Amino acid sequence: MNLLLLSSSIGLITVVIYLGIYILLHFQTSKYNPIRHAVSDYAIGKTKKLFNTYVVFSIISIAAVWISLINIQSASIIPVLVSLAFIFLLLGRIFVLVFPTNLEGQKLTGTEVLHYIGAIISFTGAYICMTSSFFISLANERLIYGILVTISFTALPALLLVIITLLLKPLRQIFGLSERIFLTLFGVWLLTINVFLTYISFK
């Protein structure tokens, strides 16, 4: 088995598990409202282990994509901004994993500040990846190309919605929904990229 096939297969398997856990989290407790509460709130209480597993599988899948890209493009050809995006994604999610959030309304702690920094870094990396022409230029299959182009056009409105609902207090009641739209969009992007990389690894 060549390295590209190995890394892309790991990426595809782990992104499917990651998305499966993402969906499963929403059926584990009625304590959190998916319209209002952030996904990271699942890191508190009985869903903590499942949330941590969700983050770990996302980290593995993202790292696998980066390794696959290096295999087909070489590190020197991958745009610097794309490489930074993967660093942001990995570091951000490690921060989210290591530094859990508090429940809404509780006193802000240093740990929670680091959690927020991790989330911002991770969202930045996700946005760069979803809007990068680099990935669109790699897609030589019409379906993959269409999905990536659609995501690239919807990523900015989705990110703006997250920022607006976070900053404007009257709209904070729907922050959870806006965050889930962005995270779901990134999840579809990550799945699409992994499917594409696995596909070309057989060629």
pLDDT tens digits along 168-185: 989 999 999 999 999 999
- Work out the average pLDDT over 60-71: 94
* Structural domain boundaries, residue 136: 3-201
Structure tokens, 74: 């070489």
- CA angle in degrees (0–180, nearest 5) for 80-83-88: 120
**pLDDT tens track for 122-137:** 999 999 999 999 999 9
73-82, 131-140, 156-165: range with lowest mean pLDDT: 73-82
Q: What is the pLDDT of residue 122?
A: 96
Please count the structural domains in the chain.
Answer: 1
Running DSSP on this structure, what letter comes out for residue 202?
A: T
- Work out the average pLDDT over 63-73: 91
